[in-house]
A and B are shown apart, each in its own frame.
Chain A
Amino acid sequence: MAEITLDTVSKSFGAVKVIDDISLTVAAGEFVVFLGPSGSGKSTLLRMIAGLETIDSGRLEIGGRESQNLAPGQRNVAMVFQNYALYPHMSVRENMAFGLRNIRMAPDEITRRVEEAARILEMDALLDRRPAQLSGGQRQRVAIGRAIVKEPAAFLFDEPLSNLDAALRVRTRVELAELHQRMQSTMIYVTHDQTEAMTMADRIVVLNDCRIEQIGTPMEVYTAPATRFVAGFIGSPAMNFLPVQIEGSAAVLADGARVPLTVAPEGAAELGIRPEAVQVVGPDEAVVTGEARVVEHLGDRTLIYAVLPGGAEIIAQDGGRSTVAPGDAVPLRFDTSQLHLFDAAGRALPAA
């Protein structure tokens, strides 16, 4: 269990900057998720912490020890790879023991650790098999076991669930969260899947375009996105964005409809509102009326894809037994406690 600190860390591949001046502290025992679209630099950042990519400038501390120039094996971290990266010619037992034998650990201590890890991951029966004889989920367990036996200062996960099928992914997600509860170790987890990030993280680091967009707990990132990118990236279906003019204490939509605001910076802005805050109401309560184009019944709720009079598209949410049909006029009300405003540069403005 150790704290990991990145201090103004940068990296380029040739002329292309892939990590731009990132500073970040992961507290001891914390589960931090790096979330971002592909190409955002999240995997590169993880690999820089692991030592698989060099750090061009800046400082990396793992457990208080300056580590940016140490070999991967000396950083006392363990990594679980997307494709598991098991040694195909070794049995499960040898796969897990290999790293320990390399540092000449006493054989009975190796046996104890391997058996302990096998017990935690419920794979005692698999110890003498080769990776080729295991299913994808079992291979993933072995990869996690190989990390556990090292008792490292931190665990690094590089999209570990993306090669599993949907059902197994959900189960393994829960198991990983349990593992973190039990081991209380520092974990950094890279994913592009916002559900994984929301469900497992103590804190989420949202990365985009080589930079950190926002760091916060899942609920902070969800309810108070710092930028338009974060607002649009997190949440499914995605947040609605409507161009507005702010006049006095209201945001004016393209068709003239007014959404009341309490804080009001003047000028043009973009109004962000999540589908669950766009409610279908009776005609007299409506702020604006749209025309339904597509209606998706999800059982517990219904998503209505509508077009507003000004031509803007909006997704509204209604109850599971909604009777709205395509072509209907839908009166909509915005929940003013869940409004977000963004300026032209995409930064969040104080709103609502």
Chain B
Amino acid sequence: MIRNSRKESLIAYALIAPFVAIYGLIFIYPTIDMFILSFQDAPLIGSGDWVGSDNYTRLGRDRRFGTAAWNTAYFVALSVLPGTLVALGIALGVSRLSGRLQALVLALFFLPYILPVSVVFRLWDWTLNFQFGIAMHLFDWVGIDRVPIFKVTAWFMPAVAFVTIWWTCGFSILLFLAGLRAIPQEIYEAAALDNTSRWRTFRRITWPLLWPVTALVLTIQLILQLKIFDQVYLFSQGGRPNDNLVMVYYIFQRAFVNDHGGRAAAIAVVLFFVVIIVSVLNFQLMRFAERRQ
């Protein structure tokens, strides 16, 4: 076939132009603007004075920034790895089922994922309600003293992490399940003929062959959970928002509560680089581990 490559590339440019235009307008331009804003002492709307790196150097002395950074790291530790393990466990269980039963059970596990965060908040706010919550009856029954979970700092992050895992692990389960289905049945049959015990089959066959999916799930979760905001914001209502600060929440406070556009932008830039560095590092480490196996 004779192809006119000049004409083809013209058509190609024409076809991607609308996307590039919109992407530039609502992503590239605001991002660049945010970088510029982070060097200014500016309100959220309107211009400000150039202050150099002041907004950044202040962060070192900012106690609330310290709390936000610590809480975010704590939340990531509580949600990413445990969430991935829970999803893997459930996916392994679901993959043993077959036919309609598997579809049904998978749908049940996936159901929370389609709920909006406000519904998730309502559900768990009621479940864990100090006076009426079902969970408190469970506490009574086991013999633990009732706790106003979202009002106590020690309980807050673990509880939010738990709810987040419940809410989002459906998607990870789906990814793991796809990964499990991609492993040919014949390999398990060969392993059965090779006298492989159940644990060794998992350890030496399933786990290594599932590693690329695990790396993907971990990276997606890491990026997602570093940006935690909604759940913390909602569950903090009437509680102690300043103790429960996370990075995005703090950006929100600075920008929309205190009208400190410049300082908010500086925190956002820091978070931006943290997400990039952590996720790239994570993905590279995973690939390195894969190659070494």
Contacts and interface: CB of A to CB of B under 8 A. Distances in A.
Interface in B171-204: 184, 186-187, 189-197, 200, 204
A79 B187 CA distance: 12
A50 interface: yes
A71 B192 CA distance: 8
B93 interface: no
Interface residues of A, number: 22
B195 A81 contact: no
Interface string A292-318: 000000000000000000000000000
Given A83-B184, A85-B186, A87-B187, A99 B193 contact: yes
Interface of B: 184, 186-187, 189-197, 200, 204-205, 208-209, 293
Nearest to A75: B193
A166 to B, nearest CB: 24
Contacts of A171: none
A93 to B, nearest CB: 14
A74 B186 CA distance: 18
A79 B190 contact: yes
Interface of A: 50-52, 71-74, 77-79, 81, 83, 85-89, 98-99, 102-103, 146
16 contacts: A50-B193, A71-B192, A74-B195, A79-B189, A79-B190, A83-B184, A83-B186, A85-B186, A85-B187, A86-B190, A87-B187, A87-B205, A98-B196, A99-B193, A99-B195, A102-B200
Given A52-B192, A103-B195, A81 B205 contact: no
A87 B208 CA distance: 10
B194 to A, nearest CB: 3
A79 B193 contact: yes
A87 B209 CA distance: 9
Given A81-B186, A85-B187, A72 B208 contact: no
Contacts of A77: 193
Contact of A81 (B190, B197, B209): B190
A141 to B, nearest CB: 15
A319 B67 CA distance: 95
A51 B186 CA distance: 13
A73 B196 contact: yes
A89 B208 contact: yes
B194 A81 contact: no
Contacts of A73: 192-196
Nearest to A103: B195
Contacts of B184: 83, 85
Nearest to B190: A85
Nearest 8 Cβ contacts at the A-B interface: A73-B195, A99-B194, A85-B186, A85-B190, A72-B192, A102-B195, A89-B208, A72-B193
A143 B189 CA distance: 13
B179 to A, nearest CB: 13
Contacts of B186: 81, 83, 85
Contacts of B196: 73, 98-99, 102
